[in-house]
Amino acid sequence: MDITHNLDGGVLKEILIHGNGTDKPHKGCKAYVHYTGSLSDGTVFDKTNDEPFQFTIGKDMTIKGFDLAVSSMTCDERSKFQCHPDYGYGIDGFEQIIPPNTWLTFEIHLLKWTWEDISRRKDKSITRQILEYGVDHATPSSVSLVNIHLEKEKNGSVIEERDIEFRLGEGKDFDVCPGIEIALTKFKTKEKSRLFIHEKHTFLEYGEDDFNEVYVIKLNFFEKFEENWSLTTEDRIKQATFFKQKGTDYFKMNNYKLALKFYKKVVDYLKVDVTSNESQMNEIKFLSVTSYLNSALCNLKSHRHTQAKNDCENALNLEPTNVKAMFRKGEALVGLHELIAAKESFEAVLQQEPNNRAAMTKIVECDEKLKSQKKIEKSVYSNMFEKFAKRDTEKEEEFLSQQPDVMNTLGEWGDDERERAPTEFEKENPNILMLNTTGYFKNM
């Protein structure tokens, strides 16, 4: 049986033992196999031993024929495959092991596989089983308008079915869970896949048991944006202007997350170095600075102060005297409790605009917070020093309590401390210091 896509006879398959079910692994799946590889004369050049070989299909971890072979198998299937050199090691062969232009034979036992992990952190929280392959190579961007058919499954049965058109980032408004939005950025047009989504990417709260929601999604079409490198400067400016306006629209709707995505698109489309005239360079600078300032405002409203600070610094790199960038950087620094630096930012605003009342007010607020902060620190340090002094006193008293009481033990000599045996008088009066044999008092 020829299993090549073009039916060119490059990989021939013979099933030795049928597997279970009809599901088969595909590109991106992690497969576990035992195999034996041999040359046309029967010489074994490679085989697994106790541990199975594990690899990700389509990641260039094996020869093309081996990938294709495993992709054709069901779970627990055993099959034999003959691979043409074009699907093996070609005209070069492999070192001294595989001669040039050699057909290879593999006997493969597919033990199991895991579905493709398409989660951002590769933690298997979103996995995909492709049911129907898509067309072309393009996939939706993080802000594309998409049209999908959605089926929700439970225990193998469809419990919900609907067609939806929405912009990625607005899924919550259409009761589409975050995991589906993340997954759709990996879909191609007309692709149909089953998604297994862990509860952290659903609308459910974390439970004690590991739980997945299951959806079958088909991507009917999506809004495509031309890659920035393929556009002229004029077209990139037009596209960036469109993104800026969309970002502003979502900002007005208090959808800061989606607004941020559009503002980031503005920067992405304008950061490529190309030959531009002075007018275009000024427009690119204006759009970029505006995008950074708007992003900073979104981040401030979302209490993402570090990101807001970075946005302002990016704007100031392009336009060092921009008052809005200075002011919003000051607000971000207040949020980060960097009050001295925040005050400096507001003072920089006054250097550009001496009558800026908002900056004056912020400086007063910084001074008040600094005074309050110093008062708290003084109290904390004062209590800390008192605790240290008390602890040192307690340690000293404990040390002294463990020392012998010289007032009660004076004159009580041990045998190892005497130069002679005690007299009868000394035995009867141990607390009386006696002269030694020389007629002088004993050196204490």
Q: Which of 53, 57, 63, 327 is catalytic?
A: 63
Residue 23 annotated to the active site? no
- The CB density around residue 29, as the number of other CB atoms within 10 Å, is 22
**Are the CB atoms for 145 and 166 separated by under 8 Å?**
yes
The tokens for 370 are 């600094």
Task: Give yes or no for a contact between 219 and 146, defined as CB atoms under 8 angstroms apart.
Answer: yes
Is residue 89 annotated as a catalytic residue, yes or no? yes
Q: Which of 81, 106, 250, 346 is catalytic?
A: 106
Burial (CB < 10 A; 0-12, 13-18, 19+), residue 20, is exposed
Of the listed 2, 45, 173, 175, which one is catalytic?
45
Longest CA pairwise span in the chain (Å): 124
Q: Are the beta carbons of 37 and 44 closer than 8 angstroms?
A: yes
Show the beta-strand stretches assigned E in 120-191: 126-132, 145-154, 157-167
Cα gap 195→176, rounded to integer Å? 13
Q: Is 118 a catalytic residue?
A: no
Of 66, 89, 250, 346, which is the active-site residue? 89
Beta carbons of 84 and 11 less than 8 angstroms apart: yes
45 given a catalytic annotation: yes
Radius of gyration of the chain (CA): 39
Catalytic: 263?
no
**Which helix or strand (DSSP H or E) is residue 401 part of?**
helix 357-401
Angle at 108 between CA 102 and CA 110, to 5 degrees: 145
Which position among 15, 23, 32, 46 bears the catalytic label?
Answer: 46
In this structure, the strands spanning 104-114 and 78-83 are: antiparallel
Q: Are 266 and 289 in contact (CB under 8 A)?
A: no
The answer to whether 63 is a known catalytic residue is yes
Residue with tokens 């607390």, as numbered in its chain: 431
| Closest to 318 measured CA to CA, from 278, 352, 284, 274 | 284
Residues annotated as part of the active site:
35, 45-46, 63, 89, 106
